[in-house]
Amino acid sequence: MTIEVRNIVKKFGSFTALDSVDLKVGKGELLALLGPSGSGKTTLLRIIAGLDWPDGGEVRFDGENALARGAGERHVGFVFQHYALFRHMNVFENVAFGLRVQPRAVRLNETAIKKRVNELLDLVQLAWLSDRYPSQLSGGQRQRIALARALAIEPRILLLDEPFGALDAKVRKELRRWLRSLHDEIHVTSIFVTHDQEEALEVANRVVVMDKGRIEQIGTPGEVYDNPATAFVHGFIGESIVLPVDVRDGRVELGGKPLNLEPQGAGAGPSRLFVRRHDMQVGPAGSGVIEGAVRRVRAFGPIQRADVALPGGEGETLIEIDTPRDRELNPGDLVGLQPRRYRIFSAST
């Protein structure tokens, strides 16, 4: 099943949650919607599921207008952030729910329902919990039951809202790997929402980065990390060193001093220089285009992290750099910094 979202607008009062969003999801993809809270990612997911309605735009499943159908008619499996398991039903009945509410003409008989539910519980490896109630399960178990329940209706699309948000770090990592392999197994077109970049980069085939109701970039995990399209994406994904610079006459200046760097098409005026921390090469004074003074050094596992003060137009800018532990670095030392790779974005973008 392919999903196509065209020009979707959604407003809550005066707040614009989605601002003309376009998105195409291919068959069998596992797509991540990544963004900070308030970026509109959950709203977009709920609109695709039919739990919210857009103020304008189109949603198409395999070319067919999905907005003409209610949530129940879209055959979408939805996994809620807090699982939303039916608290008065045991695990078996929770998973069976979607099968039991089918119209009589197409409803499976009791034996077939039993068989199907047991298959699903085996798939999520929790068959031994079928008599328990949701309140007796751990967070990770609830999550997997919620997934089994969503899969029971043989959804054409699987939507997951912050699937790992409410879990502790260890369970989260396990479930992440498990979801990835489950998707390889059942291959249903899936979208999940997350604010955790590591989760998005590790699990998804493609990542959609969102901010303030707009899509900033769509690409594979490698693309969004290596070639961020906007300043927001560069700052949001991975750790970056950000320096306020000025572009004047096709040259890049830091605190009034020209730097030997390409402006990369950024227009004249205040801009920002982004460098991944591991792309910043640290050498003795004079070895790089930027000079700085070490303020503070601390050991940090295999590396040491140093605060370096750079002369700026107004006061100084403090940045954090990493160097290997064997390199001697003391407060007061002057160092030269040379970005191996960098991006410059106009401050207005």
Report the interface residues with other proteins, using CB under 8 A: 49-51, 70-78, 80, 82-88, 97-98, 101-102, 134-135, 139, 142, 149-150, 152-153, 166
Task: Quote the tokens at residue 97.
Answer: 């729910």
Which residues are bridge partners to 62 per DSSP? none
Shortest reach from residue 135's CB to other proteins, in Å: 4
Distance CA 121, CA 235 (A): 41
CB of 62 to other proteins, least distance (A): 19
CA distance 123 to 257: 62
222 CB-contact burial (10 Å; exposed 0-12 / middle 13-18 / buried 19+): exposed
Give the shortest CB-145-to-other proteins separation in angstroms.
Answer: 12
Q: Nearest-CA neighbor of 200 among 42, 51, 35, 348? A: 35
Which amino acid belongs to residue 324?
P
- Token pair of 282, please? 């640290």
Q: Which 3 state secondary structure label does DSSP give 327?
A: coil
CB-CB contact of 255 with 235 (8 Å): no
Instruction: Tell me the closest approach of the beta carbon of residue 111 to other proteins, in angstroms.
Output: 20
**CB closer to other proteins out of 135 and 181:** 135
Kindly tell me which of 12 and 300 has the beta carbon lying closer to other proteins.
12
Shortest approach of other proteins to residue 11 CB, angstroms?
A: 14
